[in-house]
Copies of this chain bind each other. A is one copy, B any other.
Amino acid sequence: MTAETTDFAEALRAAGLRVTQQRLRVLSILMQAQDHPNADEVFTRAREIDGSVSFATVYRTLSALEEAGLIQRLSFENEPARFEVMPSADHDHLVDIDTGEVIEITSDEINRLRAELVARLGYEIVSQHTLIRARRKPDA
């Protein structure tokens, strides 16, 4: 077991989950991913490594990891949910509507303003996510 998978294993145990090959695999796929794969893509990548992984397990694993706070589910418009390892800071996503490329963006100031606004309404933020659909500026 590599140092990397040892870390994963500890995180899983800390969340009260059994350390299975499948979970290590899914976590590792998401940690290595440069993009934001959906369940089907995670499944395909997992299959390349272990031909016996099932669809059901991928879905169950993704839900379990989400509930354990290890990964985050992203709900984009009109497409299956995508996943990413839990980010350290709240960040949002910009989708290039022409290429489909996803860019992560962060603004502490916006986060602060939002928290204030929500607090004024008598609420506490549990989670938040901004989806921006944008197009490259032609004159950029």
A interface residues (Cβ-Cβ under 8 A, vs B) = 73, 75-78, 81, 92, 94, 96-97, 103, 105, 107, 109-110, 113-114, 117-119, 121-137, 140
A55 to chain B, nearest CB (A): 18
Report chain B residues within 8 Å CB of A81. 77-78
Task: Give the complex CA separation of A78 and B62 in angstroms.
Answer: 13
Are A94 and B110 touching (Cβ within 8 A)?
no
Are B105 and A121 touching (Cβ within 8 A)?
yes
Task: Give the complex CA separation of A119 and B134 in angstroms.
Answer: 10
A90 to chain B, nearest CB (A): 11
Are A130 and B130 touching (Cβ within 8 A)?
yes
